[in-house]
Structure 1
Amino acid sequence: MSPKQQRGEATVDLVLTTALRVYAAHGQQGFTVGSVTAASGVSLGSLYHHFGSFDGLAAALYTRCMGELFDAMTAAVTRTRTARTGVHALVRSYLEFTREHRDAALFLHASAYSGYLAAHAEEISAAKEAKLAAIGAWTRRQVLKGEIVPLPGPLVEVLVMGPVGEAARRWLSSTYAFDLDEAERLLPDAVWRTLRPGPDA
């Protein structure tokens, strides 16, 4: 990698790290191109050079946070030996990521209806598919072995990610008094019961 490329990557990392910090400190209203350039010391021209637009920056930050979450889930599930422990690991790693990386989790959940997700849907979808590939392969192996109900991959994803995503959203929201410790104790088995092939599995 050339020195110029190294400087470019360092700038991208600085802007993304700063953007998340700005969002965590000031929320959606304070998350502006001016606040990010001021906090990072990166010029507006440089930001647009690397991200194309402020929406492009936000989409890149979303992709980065999403990748970190899925990397944590992949690392957790690939260390397991059974379908049950794998499902438990997926659920717990999502909730642990939410607790340990609150700023990233908050940005992911707050982005659900943001315009930049629609504007950059193709690249976000491609990044998600790549990051979920290992988890999808693990799930297909469990289905072939008869250890997980034979459902299409997207439905298995919904059954795992739906409950933990909602649990994380409630914990992150100031609207709810939500016990994440209790969720970590109870949700893994609750999700597993929706995926196991029978009551004796």
Structure 2
Amino acid sequence: MTRHGRSAETIGRLLDTALELHPGDFTLRALTARSGVSMGSLYHHFGSLEGLAAALYSRCMAELLDTLVTAVEGAADARDGVRRAVLAYLGFAAGHPDKARFIHAAPYAVDLGPHAGRIAADKAERLERLNGWIRRHMEAGSVAPLPAAQVEMLLIGPVAEVTRRWLAGAPEIDLAEAACVLPERIWRSLSA
């Protein structure tokens, strides 16, 4: 195996182990013990526990955003795309609760602030694809002309809150029920 291949394998092992450990024993000691990777190697690749958390957050967020982009880009129209995005988010949470939990908990559990620029850069292309899709539908008149932040609150806000509560074990939250109720209601909030 080449040096680059070993580095990629080490990085992957550390990220996978961090996801397995979160939220329980998310410490440097536990990460190195469980992964078999030395502390020096962890610092070499990530600089700190927070650097590793930022990389894991970016990886999990990329998977979620890729799921959303695929959902909307395959849609027949704006209504179908919004509905697909809602279902894709809920499906991602149901299928990958460990990743969804990390996405929702990491910003509060670990100081990702020093890595905010890198995290934003990692998300930029995917977010631009999502925003571009919604802008095209605004320009066509099927989606209300709203600022991007408001679109995000209307589209992702309700789904993210349902996901957070489901991950926390709230007994009144059922993702299947949310999948029946939310798509059309969210579409009505965004339609022109």
TM-score between both structures, scaled by the size of structure 2: 0.96
Q: Structure 2 CA distance, aligned partners of 1:11 and 1:70? A: 25
Deviation (angstroms), 1:176: 4.2
CA drift of 1:132 comes to: 1.1
1:193 aligned onto 2:192 = no
Q: Which of 145, 155, 167 is 2:140 aligned to?
A: 145
> Residues 56 and 116 of structure 1 are in contact (CA less than 8 Å); yes or no, is this contact kept in structure 2?
no
Report 1:1-201 matches (<5 A). Answer: 3-23=2-22, 27-28=23-24, 30-197=25-192
Runs of 4+ in 1 over 6 A off after TM superposition: none
Q: Is the 8 A contact 1:59 1:120 kept in 2?
A: yes
Whether the 8 Å contact between 1:22 and 1:31 is mirrored in structure 2 is: yes
Greater CA drift, 129-138 or 55-64: 129-138
Q: 1:137-187: CA deviations, max 9, x gaps? A: 111110110010001222211211100000100110124431111001110
1:116 Cα deviation (Å)?
2.5
- % identity of equivalent residues: 45
Aligned residues: 192
RMSD, matched Cα: 1.3
Scaled by the length of structure 1, the TM-score of the pair is: 0.91
| Equivalent-residue separation in structure 2 for 1:138 and 1:80 (angstroms) | 10
Letter aligned with residue 68 of structure 2: M
> C-alpha displacement at 1:114, in angstroms?
3.4
Partner Cα separation in structure 1 for residue 101 and residue 134 of structure 2? 27
Bigger Cα displacement from structure 2, 169-178 vs 97-106: 169-178
| Aligned mates of 2:95, 2:179 — CA distance in 1 | 13
Higher alpha-carbon deviation: 86-95 or 170-179: 170-179
